[in-house]
Amino acid sequence: MGTARTGVTRRSTLLSLCALVLGPLLLITGCGFLALTACEAPGDRDDPRPRATVPAEVLRALRTASTVTRQAGSARVTAVMTMGDRVSTRTTGTLGWRDGLNGALTIRYTGGTLVGTLRGLDIGTTEARFVDGVYYARMSDAFAAESGGRHWVRHPHDSSANFAPNQSVELLLAAPDTRRTGRETVRGVPATRYTGTLRPADLPTRGPAADESAELRDQLRAAGVTEERVDVWIDGAGRLVKRAERSETAAGTLHSTAYYRQFGVRVAPVTAPPPADTVDYAALLPSRAGQ
């Protein structure tokens, strides 16, 4: 009985750590906590909600930035994330988003109350691969021992969803209080900063995006997300060079900041891990783990 209980507890712990490992992958792609719900461009220009509080020139600048950043197609990325006092990370790599999300990232766990546990399970550093919009996280031998000998976790998403960095700009287009907050220099690059806060109730209830927004609203509430604060910095060419997001959730506050440079850089080809060494994230969820 004690051995069985220990095994269940260990598996539960590993599944929780798996969620923490995958978190930075979702955040780095520019959708913050909303990425967990595969958000789909809520800032539709046909959104019928009154937008008098957002200056027209701000909306024009952000729409241009979304288009220009999307068309850039790729960039080198550096990011940091903190999830309350539980874990902090630093992520580096190159991503392409011209035809689905592709590229590779290295995630280092740098602090937090769980970092010792992570390192004890040999998860001090994680390799992440994005292949045709599906992402994979390389776990450890300790994790594989609890997942049928499989080291990689696969997390697919709706192929129609847009996870390029311009998604942060799209979030600002949906926020009712979006504003320009001044000029700053981001790692030597002059940029204009824009800020806004998005809540589930802000998503449109009418128009072309209503169905997608209703589903997203339900998912956000189920995840305990009460609001998302978004800041973006746009350079003189209209490209997103920095984004910062703060999510207020039932589990606490989550912060992430990402920097983008060398737009249009070549992205080295990456391949999906062997299927025999891969497990789907959905199969690890607690509701299924006990079946």
Contact 43, 171 (CB under 8 A): yes
Q: Please state the separation of Cα 52 from the chain's center in Å.
A: 30
Q: Quick: pLDDT tens for 178-235.
A: 999 999 999 999 999 999 998 877 776 766 566 666 766 776 676 677 788 899 999 9
Instruction: Report the C-alpha gap between 215 and 89 in whole angstroms.
Output: 30
Contact 164, 75 (CB under 8 A): no
Among 180, 187, 149, 166, which residue's Cα sits nearest to residue 276?
Answer: 149
SS3 230: strand
Packing angle, helices 56-72 and 167-174, rounded to 10: 160
Neighbours of 60 (CB within 10 A): 10
How do strand 74-83 and strand 252-261 relate by DSSP bridges? Answer: antiparallel
Q: Quick: pLDDT tens for 278-291.
A: 988 777 765 544 44
Give the position of tokens 């497990």. Answer: 279
Compute the C-alpha angle 235/237/239, nearest 5°: 60
Instruction: Report the C-alpha gap between 46 and 173 in whole angstroms.
Output: 11
Instruction: Report the C-alpha gap between 185 and 194 in whole angstroms.
Output: 13
Segment-wise mean pLDDT, segments of 10 residues, the chain, 291 residues? 45 57 51 35 42 80 91 92 84 87 88 79 84 84 84 68 66 87 96 90 67 66 76 95 85 85 93 92 61 44
